[in-house]
């Protein structure tokens, strides 16, 4: 679990070996002791160096009780015992620790699993990272030897001021001007890095204040955006559904409502249609009889041409009864609908009507669901609405954070340009110094008295060449180690890893034409990639230092956790100290059992909330 002191252990190791700043130490004094005006802490560390035992004790205190102690009142002492022999000189003790475990490489052996991905985010080419890597690979020592020999040459050359070659002073002046310009660029880079760091800290404080008051930034803004998008989409869907429902009501609802009466209705329509047809036929037949009578027995007989006297109605009935059937049977005409209306109803299909009913029900259910979801969204909007004062603070802090981000972006762009200029100056100086060394070499050959300069110049040329070869070989070795580790513990498949010898920029290639940008990895993948890089560095350097890892698995999924536990922890170093939470490696779990064969000792940090202190117990989270 968090807050019991495992990270403090890692910080204590660094504090014991390298010390700390007073403003940080002041906050580490025990709160209860502060109330009693007691200011004293110490950290001790013991380790074996081959067959020798080393004990380091570093203390911080405010000697005499003061009414209002200040940061500058803190005094520190360092005691180093080497096989029970104490270093009397504090500077010598510091030098001894720096020699055994150089500070600039400790970050590659003592690290926080959640924070090492910052190395990936910042890039491996950042100056302090690149210098630390060079120190770890032994390149820094060779460069120091090269610079020391250059200083020897410069000092020796001062003893021979009567150099007749006029080009040498001009070349030296040119190099000196470039170095002055380089120093200015280096100072500018450092100032920008400091400025960027300070502004990032300020931005972090603003973000923390924002999150404490309003929720995680920028989740609150993203959540509102997502809700707005969802609301807009649901309203579109709701409008479309309303149109469908309206169309159904206009075109089909009246027929659907008749579904249960449809058989009876159809039967009635058929009866009425039959009756109408029979009645129309009967009327047409009667009209035909009238025409026959009219033509046969009009005003006069068509045969004798004399007037005919007869009972017209009786004759009509006689002819009709003999020729035609009786008039159609009378029925009750209820609907009296048109043929078009009859056809529309008779063509109705029961199954089709049932399907339309189901479709209508589904539309109503969808309408209800969308309405409920819209109501939920409106509730969330109302819940996220802020008071007027909070809204003002929200906008103010949000604006400050945005301005900080823009400012940091501009500063990083300036830093990148200045670093590029610095790199170019370094290259120009190296070229001109190489040319000048050749001039020196040719010139000093003529002078027996300046033999040291001649030999030193030659040696420096050899060292310079050796540095290039050594750097190339070490980088190639680092590439191979990183590739071997990468394909073992990383999920992504790659064909090749390339590391720029000068900048240490890393290029991952999926195939000949496609590269992978590791800065776009997820948080967990960045952590795995950083661990792979640190392990490759350790193997390439051949240094046998212990490794301390704090919170190594917090951001990793199951597969990456298994990969580290199976392939990394047992082989990373002769001694590996894992500061793990019980959620990362659950006691008696599959992961815990995987590690068991490699575990020498297990301890648990238990925090006592009543005493506000942490105790160390035997075993791994044993109740």
In DSSP notation, 28-62 reads HS-HHHHHTT--EEEEEEEEEETTEEEEEEEEEE-
Question: What pLDDT is attached to residue 351?
Answer: 58
Of 578, 481, 549, nearest to 115 by C-alpha is 549
Longest Cα pair distance anywhere in the chain, in angstroms?
175
What's the rounded mean pLDDT across residues 116-139? 68
Instruction: Give tens-digit pLDDT for 99-117.
Output: 788 777 777 777 776 667 6
How many CB atoms lie under 10 A from the CB of residue 578? 22
Smallest CA-to-CA distance from 401 within 221, 536, 526 is with: 221
User: Are 412 and 196 within 8 A, CB to CB?
Assistant: yes
Q: Which residues contact 182 (CB under 8 A, 6 or more apart)?
A: 422, 425, 426, 429
Contacts of 623 (CB under 8 A, 6+ apart): none
Alpha helices in 445-581 (DSSP H): 451-489, 523-541, 558-563
Window from 76-85, 328-337, 414-423 with minimum mean pLDDT: 328-337
pLDDT mean over 404-416:
86
pLDDT the model gives residue 561: 87
As a whole number of angstroms, the distance between CA 501 and CA 313 comes to 127
Q: Which residues pair with 43 in a beta bridge?
A: 58
Measuring CA to CA, which residue among 58, 55, 45, 61 is closest to residue 86?
Answer: 55
| pLDDT bracket for residue 171 (50, 70, 90) | confident
376 and 227 in contact (C-beta within 8 Å)? Answer: no
Backbone φ and ψ of 256, nearest 5°: -65, -40
Q: 272, 331 in Cβ contact below 8 A?
A: yes
Q: Which of 105, 107, 92, 57 is nearest to 78 (CA)?
A: 57
Taking CA atoms, 245 is separated from 387, 502, 562, in Å, by: 40, 70, 55
SS (H, E, C) 249-266: HHHCHHHHHCHHHHHHHH
Higher pLDDT, 332 or 464: 464
Determine which of 162-171, 284-293, 347-356, 501-510 has the lowest per-residue pLDDT on average: 347-356
Q: Indicate if the pLDDT at residue 57 is higher than 90.
A: yes
pLDDT at residue 422 in the model: 87
Pick the closest to residue 511 from 500, 526, 496, 522 (CA basis).
496
- Contact, 44 vs 59, CB < 8 A? no
Residue 558 has a pLDDT of 86
- Judge whether 178 and 432 are in contact, CB under 8 Å: yes
Dist. CA 509–CA 482, nearest whole Å:
13
- The pTM (predicted TM-score) of the whole model is 0.50
pLDDT at 389 over 60: no
> pLDDT band at residue 400, thresholds of 50, 70 and 90?
confident
Mean pLDDT computed over 562-590? 87
572, burial (CB in 10 Å: exposed 0-12, middle 13-18, buried 19+): buried
How many whole angstroms separate alpha carbon 327 and alpha carbon 359?
A: 48
d(CA 609, CA 411): 44
CA angle 308–310–313, rounded 5-degree value: 135
* pLDDT band with cut points at 50, 70 and 90 for residue 58: very high
Q: What is the pLDDT of residue 597?
A: 92
Question: Measured between alpha carbons, how far is 499 from 479 in angstroms, rounded to an integer?
Answer: 6
- Comparing 16-20, 133-137, 423-427, 569-573, the range with the smallest average pLDDT is 133-137
Residue 447: per-residue pLDDT:
61
DSSP H/E element including 169: helix 167-214
Q: Which helix (H) or strand (E) holds 130?
A: helix 127-136
Of residues 36 and 487, which shows the higher confidence score? 487
Residue 44's pLDDT band, with cuts at 50, 70 and 90, is very high
pLDDT score recorded for residue 55: 93
Residue, of 601 and 376, whose pLDDT is higher: 601
**Which residues face 52 on adjacent strands?**
49
Among 53-57, 186-190, 348-352, which is the least confidently predicted range?
Answer: 348-352
Task: Look at residue 336 and tell me whether its pLDDT is greater than 70.
Answer: no
Q: When comparing pLDDT for 223 and 163, which is higher?
A: 223
> What is the average per-residue pLDDT within 150-163?
68
Under a CB-based contact definition with an 8 Å cutoff, are residues 554 and 114 in contact? yes
Mean pLDDT of all residues in the chain? 78
Q: What is the mean pLDDT of residues 357-382?
A: 79
Sheet hosting strand 576-579, strand order edge to edge? 110-112, 547-550, 576-579
Q: In the predicted model, is pLDDT for residue 335 greater than 80?
A: no
Give the per-residue pLDDT at 355. 72
With a cut of 60, say whether residue 231 has pLDDT above it.
yes
Report the distance separating Cα 522 and Cα 358, nearest Å. Answer: 47
Q: How many angstroms from the chain centroid is the CA of residue 546?
A: 31
221-225: which pairs have CB atoms within 8 A and are 24 or more residues apart? Answer: 221/398, 223/384, 224/381, 224/384
- Compute the average pLDDT of residues 141-155: 81
Alpha carbon distance, N-terminus to C-terminus of the chain: 14
Backbone phi and psi for residue 46, each to the nearest 5 degrees, phi listed first: -120, 140
pLDDT at 348: 58
Q: Residues 60, 41: contact at Cβ < 8 Å?
A: yes
Do 271 and 375 form a contact (C-beta atoms < 8 A)? no
266 close to 345: Cβ distance less than 8 angstroms: yes
Split at pLDDT 50, 70, 90, the class of 159 is low
pLDDT over 70 (residue 549):
yes
141 vs 298, residue with greater confidence: 141
* 542-556: average pLDDT: 82
d(CA 332, CA 335): 9
All residues at 6 or more sequence positions from 428 whose CB lies less than 8 Å from its CB, including other chains: 178
Contacts of 608 (CB under 8 A, 6+ apart): 614, 615
Task: Tell whether the model's pLDDT for residue 86 goes beyond 80.
Answer: yes
Q: Name 34's bridge partners.
A: none
Under the banding of pLDDT at 50, 70 and 90, the label for residue 201 is confident
The pLDDT assigned to 80 comes to 92
């Amino acid at each position: 679990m968090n807050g019991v002191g495992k990270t403090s252990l890692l910080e204590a190791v660094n504090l014991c070996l390298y010390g700390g700043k007073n403003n940080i130490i002041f906050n580490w004094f025990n709160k209860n002791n502060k109330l009693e005006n007691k200011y004293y802490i110490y950290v001790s560390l013991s380790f074996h160096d081959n067959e020798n035992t080393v004990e380091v004790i570093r203390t911080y205190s405010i000697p005499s009780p003061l009414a209002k102690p200040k940061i500058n009142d803190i005094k520190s002492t360092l005691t180093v015992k080497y096989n029970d022999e104490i270093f009397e000189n504090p500077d010598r003790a510091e030098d001894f620790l720096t020699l055994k475990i150089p500070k600039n490489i400790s970050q590659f052996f003592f690290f926080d699993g959640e924070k090492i991905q910052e190395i990936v985010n910042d890039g491996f080419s950042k100056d302090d990272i690149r210098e630390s890597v060079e120190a770890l690979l032994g390149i820094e020592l060779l460069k120091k030897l090269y610079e020391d020999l250059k200083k020897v040459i410069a000092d020796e050359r001062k003893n021979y001021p009567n150099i007749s070659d006029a080009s040498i002073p001009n070349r030296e002046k040119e190099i000196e001007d470039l170095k002055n310009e380089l120093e200015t660029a280096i100072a500018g880079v450092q100032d920008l890095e400091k400025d960027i760091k300070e502004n990032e800290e300020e931005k972090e404080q603003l973000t923390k204040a924002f999150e404490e008051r309003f929720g995680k930034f920028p989740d609150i803004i993203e959540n509102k955006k997502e809700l707005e998008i969802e609301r807009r989409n649901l309203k579109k869907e709701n409008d479309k559904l309303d149109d469908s429902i309206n169309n159904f009501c206009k075109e089909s609802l009246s027929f659907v409502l008749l579904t249960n009466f449809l058989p009876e209705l159809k039967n009635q329509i058929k009866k009425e249609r039959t009756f109408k047809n029979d009645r129309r036929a009967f009327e047409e037949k009667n009209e035909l009889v009238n025409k026959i009578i009219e033509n046969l027995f009009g005003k006069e007989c068509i045969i004798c041409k004399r007037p005919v006297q007869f009972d017209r109605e009786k004759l009509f009935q006689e002819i009709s009864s003999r020729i035609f059937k009786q008039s159609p049977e009378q029925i009750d005409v209820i609907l009296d609908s048109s043929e078009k209306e009859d056809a529309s109803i008779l063509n109705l299909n029961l199954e089709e009507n049932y399907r339309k009913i189901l479709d209508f029900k589904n539309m109503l259910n969808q309408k209800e669901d969308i309405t409920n979801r819209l109501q939920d969204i409106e509730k969330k909007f109302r819940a996220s609405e802020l008071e007027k004062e909070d809204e003002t603070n929200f906008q103010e802090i949000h604006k400050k954070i945005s301005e900080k981000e823009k400012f940091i972006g501009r500063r990083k762009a300036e830093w990148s340009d200045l670093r590029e200029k610095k790199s170019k100056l370094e290259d120009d100086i190296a070229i001109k110094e190489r040319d000048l060394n050749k001039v020196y070499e040719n010139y000093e050959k003529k002078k027996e008295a300046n033999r040291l300069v001649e030999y030193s110049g030659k040696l420096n040329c050899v060292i310079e060449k050796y540095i290039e070869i050594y750097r190339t070989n070490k980088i190639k070795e680092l590439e191979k180690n990183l590739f071997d580790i990468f394909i073992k513990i990383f999920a992504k498949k790659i064909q090749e890893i390339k590391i720029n010898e000068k900048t240490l920029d890393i290029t991952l290639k999926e195939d000949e034409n496609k590269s992978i940008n590791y800065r776009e990895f997820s948080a967990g993948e960045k952590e795995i990639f950083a661990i792979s890089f640190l392990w490759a560095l350790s193997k390439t350097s051949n240094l046998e230092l212990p490794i301390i890892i704090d919170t190594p698995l917090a951001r990793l999924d199951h597969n990456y956790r298994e990969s580290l536990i199976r392939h990394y922890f047992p082989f990373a170093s002769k001694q590996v100290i894992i500061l793990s939470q019980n959620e990362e490696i659950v006691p008696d779990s599959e992961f815990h059992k995987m590690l068991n064969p490699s575990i020498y000792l297990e301890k648990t940090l238990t925090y006592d909330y009543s005493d506000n202190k942490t105790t160390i117990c035997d075993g791994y989270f044993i109740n």
